[in-house]
Amino acid sequence: MGRKPDRDRPGKVDRMLRVNELVKRELAGLLERYPVPELSGVLVSVTEVDCSVDLRTAAVYVSVYGGKAPARDAVMKHLAKMRPEWQRRLAATLGFKHTPVLSFELDGRQAAGDRVLELLREMESSADPEGEK
């Protein structure tokens, strides 16, 4: 008999969910302690972490609220600059056998959702009240 894929083994899935949440919480704390220095009025949030099963890599998705493209670029540069230090801190805090190499990616889901809501508001405001029944 062949070995079942990891997705069919609930223990592995639960473990990865816990690991992802733990790394996400630690990174959110680091982001709070070490904010982007040159930006004010911009909120950066860690929305999701996706670690590989062997814990060698982790994709970290972040959202930037309240900023235009230059602010988002500054946030991503700051995260890239802080990556080695944050990996060291994760290694010390989490005590995993392997500390994942972090890669930061901009999470566009929030911006896309905000755009949909904006379009809906525009449609509501431009709708003719007499035409609706």
Rounded to whole angstroms, the Cα distance separating 126 from 91 reads: 54
Tell me the domain boundaries of the chain: 6-108
Q: In this structure, is the dihedral angle defined by the CA atoms of residues 4, 8, 13 and 15, taken in order, positive or negative?
A: negative
Supply the pLDDT for residue 3.
Answer: 41
Supply the pLDDT for residue 114.
Answer: 74
Rounded to whole angstroms, the Cα distance separating 109 from 96 reads: 30
H or E segment to which residue 14 belongs: helix 10-33
Q: For residue 52, give both structure tokens.
A: 């590989």
Considering only CA atoms, which of 90, 98, 94, 95 is closest in space to residue 60? 90
- Average pLDDT, 10 consecutive residues per value, the chain (133 residues): 49 84 94 80 89 93 83 89 93 88 87 78 76 51
Which residue matches tokens 């733990």? 22
Supply the pLDDT for residue 10.
Answer: 57
Supply the pLDDT for residue 6.
Answer: 52
Rounded to whole angstroms, the Cα distance separating 124 from 122 reads: 5
> How far from 46 is each of 3, 37, 97, 122, 126, CA to CA, in Å?
35, 17, 23, 30, 36
Domain spanning 6-108, CATH architecture: 2-Layer Sandwich (3.30)
